[in-house]
Amino acid sequence: TVRCAGSAGHGATEAARPERSLQARFFTHRTVATARNRASGFGGDWRVRKQLPVVVGPDDRMPPGSREPKWAQ
């Protein structure tokens, strides 16, 4: 009986652990991805736009109204 209970308890702990770590990893990954998207999409464009000369401007890469209205709202 002791042997059975011990193995059962061990099994339960093993089963509970990966689930928690998986959830944590998934949550962290989502957060990092969101932050990276924000940084590259928003902050990155701001920096590039300020650094580049007006002649080269963002109009070369994409139509002027494509991204700005989204952020304006």
* Domain assignment present for 32: yes
Residues in the chain, total: 73
CA-to-CA separations, 36 to 41, 44, 71, in angstroms, rounded: 8, 10, 16
Instruction: Read off the pLDDT of residues 1-52 as tens digits, 9 standing for 90 and up.
Output: 556 555 555 555 555 555 666 666 655 666 666 666 665 555 455 555 555 5
* Domain assignment present for 62: no
* Domain assignment present for 22: yes
Over 60: is that where the pLDDT of 53 sits? no
Expressed as residue numbers, the domain containing 19 is: 1-51
Instruction: Read off the pLDDT of residues 59-72 as tens digits, 9 standing for 90 and up.
Output: 555 555 555 555 55
- What's the one-letter identity of residue 11? G
* Domain assignment present for 20: yes
* Domain assignment present for 44: yes
pTM attached to this predicted model: 0.19
